[in-house]
Structure 1
Amino acid sequence: MMKQRTSYTGFFIGLVVGMDIGLFWNDFLFSDQYKFLSILNMPVFSGLAFGLLLGLLGNYLEKTMYRKKKAPKELA
């Protein structure tokens, strides 16, 4: 039986954690200074923003941790 490696696990874990952080922590103090960040005052958009950010970070970390080792060069 062959073992199959699960793909995008880091992305989904990061997405869930990021969305939780964004939903519960949506009132940003620095959004008054920067008007383009005022959309992050809404819980849904801050959840999506943090979810995508942490999802991409989780995917990157998964790819670097499980990077396939290159096969050694064969001597001719």
Structure 2
Amino acid sequence: MEHIEYESLLSLPAVATLTGLSANTILYATKSGSFPSPVEFNGDEVWFSSEIANWLEDSPLSPSTFEGGKAA
């Protein structure tokens, strides 16, 4: 039998908690292409947990990189 791994889906508040970024900053970074894009699931925008984990490991961006919703 094939092993199936299930991906966790994260809401915007959950992503904000994990990254330390505000919801507005996440949305700004998503639009600018410097943050993973959400997918639509049951009418809500959600993020794949693996993409957020990879971003946290690989990204030079951090909460201090942004000021007032714009890249510093």
Q: Scaled by the length of structure 2, what TM-score is found?
A: 0.23
Q: Scaled by the length of structure 1, what TM-score is found?
A: 0.23
More helix by share: 1
More strand by share: 2
